Amino acid sequence: MASEKLPTAGNPIRCKAAVCRKPGEPLVLEEIVVAPPYRHEARIRIICTSLCQSDITFWKLKDFPAVFPRILGHEAIGVVESVGEDIDEVKEGDTVIPTFMSDCGDCTDCRSKKSNLCSKLPFKVSPWMPRYESSRFTDLNGEVLYHFLFVSSFSQYTVVDVAHLTKIDPSIPPNRACLLSCGVSTGVGASWRTANVETGSTVAIFGLGSIGLAVAEGARLCGATRIIGVDMNPNKFEIGKKFGVTDFISAGDSGSKSVSQVINEMTGGGADYCFECVGLASLVREAYSCCRKGWGKTIVLGVDKPGAQLSLSSFDVLHNGKILTGSLFGGLKAKSDIPVLLKRYMDKELQLDEFVTHEMKFEDINKAFDLLTEGKCLRCVIWMDQ
């Protein structure tokens, strides 16, 4: 089957996509045309996609780097329909996970174990394909539709650069595997790869949305004994417990003390690892303030507003020897780390089922936007009917 060329290869494909035509307005389900892949690219039939917070951010954003009309979606799984020239890594029929981060395997950074920040196809919020600065999508009037995070999975077919594709075992349920395309990988990876949480350590997580819960899940897998969750919503403790959260601080309810004071007292001098998963400079300061002196590590995962600045006391930095670092895609190298996480799911170690609160059809995609905007879901998986 794999060696046989499908009749669509080399030709444009007409299919259904959910197009974001105006900021904050419901996506429009319409027929679009997807061009064949260029050199180093593959055209993918999306099996399912899930909604991530960055889709909401760029759906609402009115100004650059937001551009319209655009095909959002960046957490997905699919099957290769056809490939462009010079690709031997994937072929027609392979099951793949696209990722917004590239893993070219060839540049200095990809060859180093110390980084997942590819410098050949560096991460940026671009409206184009990563290698050629052009789009593979047009609407039926011939107007260009922009890409999103090099994935654009809210379409039955999309084109992705091979550096952004990870081939996976096709027997893994797609409605679970797709979660490793962005959110869950980012959180679990932040504990596992960026922080390198050790057995017996104490972790504090600011913000228990999907990313924060995935950080907890990663910390639980790494053997953390105390996982402190901080959130404005007290109902988050119950859900947090499923992912290993042992203690909870209701952020609006810590009385005259700041959350960092409460954590410093609870832990006798600060947590070993603090994770900021909201995207607020003030919370990064709080997290850094309750990280243990000498070896504490604060990891920033939240996406703040463009231009936001951090301010820290330079005495605090000098006297306390703490580490502050950011983490994109949890520090994971997609092609080698996603298969490891999928194996841990199949071995019943990593929990993925618990993240999926809703599943729906492609035509109901706007309901998924409502659910995530209203904070009523963790992950909503959307099945692409063909």
Interface residues with Zn ion (CB under 5 A) are: 52, 54, 104, 107, 110, 118, 120, 182
CA distance 344 to 260: 34
- Which residues does residue 14 pair with via DSSP β-bridges, in sequence order? 33
CA distance 242 to 90: 36
Q: CA 263, 279, 360, 101 torsion: positive or negative? A: negative
CB of 107 to Zn ion, least distance (A): 3
- In the structure encoding, which two tokens stand for residue 45, read together? 């039939």
- Distance in Å, CB of 158 to Zn ion, minimum: 15
Q: How far is the CB of 74 from Zn ion (least distance, A)?
A: 6
Which residue lies nearer to Zn ion by CB, 214 or 283? 214
Determine the residue type at 91: K
Rounded to whole angstroms, the Cα distance separating 364 from 385 reads 11
Length of the chain, in residues: 386
Give the residue with the Cβ less far from Zn ion, 184 or 219: 184
Return the structure tokens found at 171. Answer: 């027997």
Nearer of residues 291 and 341 to Zn ion, judged by Cβ: 341
Q: How far is the CB of 361 from Zn ion (least distance, A)?
A: 21
Q: Which residue lies nearer to Zn ion by CB, 44 or 290?
A: 44
User: Can you read off the two tokens belonging to residue 381?
Assistant: 């998986």
- Distance, CA of 193 to CA of 185 (rounded, Å): 10
The full DSSP string for 299-326 is EE-----TT------HHHHHHH--EEEE
User: Please, what is the minimum distance in Å from the beta carbon of residue 259 to Zn ion?
Assistant: 26
Judged by beta carbon, residue 101 or residue 251, the one nearer Zn ion is: 101
Give the count of beta carbons closer than 10 Å to the beta carbon of residue 129.
Answer: 23
Torsion of CA 365, 370, 374, 380, to 10 degrees: -10
Q: Could you tell me the smallest distance in angstroms from the CB atom of residue 106 to Zn ion?
A: 6
Cα distances (Å, whole numbers) of residue 138 to 14, 41, 164, 359: 10, 17, 22, 28
Least distance in Å: CB of 83 to Zn ion?
A: 20
What amino acid is encoded at 264 in this protein? N
Shorter beta-carbon distance to Zn ion: residue 162 or 274: 162
Given a contact cutoff of 8 angstroms between Cβ atoms, the answer to whether 177 and 168 are in contact is yes
Query: In sequence order, which ranges of 15-136 are alpha helices (DSSP H)?
Result: 53-60, 108-111
Measured distance CA(56)–CA(209) in Å, rounded: 14
Least distance (Å) between residue 52 CB and Zn ion: 3
Comparison of 249 and 332: residue with beta carbon closer to Zn ion: 332
Beta carbon nearer to Zn ion, 27 or 259: 27
Please state, as a whole number, how many other Cβ atoms lie within 10 Å of the Cβ of residue 37. 26
List the structure tokens of 323.
């580490």
Contact 84, 74 (CB under 8 A): no
Q: Is 82 or 99 the residue whose CB approaches Zn ion more closely? A: 99
Nearer to Zn ion, 182 or 377 (CB): 182
Least distance between Zn ion and beta carbon 110 (Å): 3
Q: Could you tell me the smallest distance in angstroms from the CB atom of residue 100 to Zn ion? A: 7
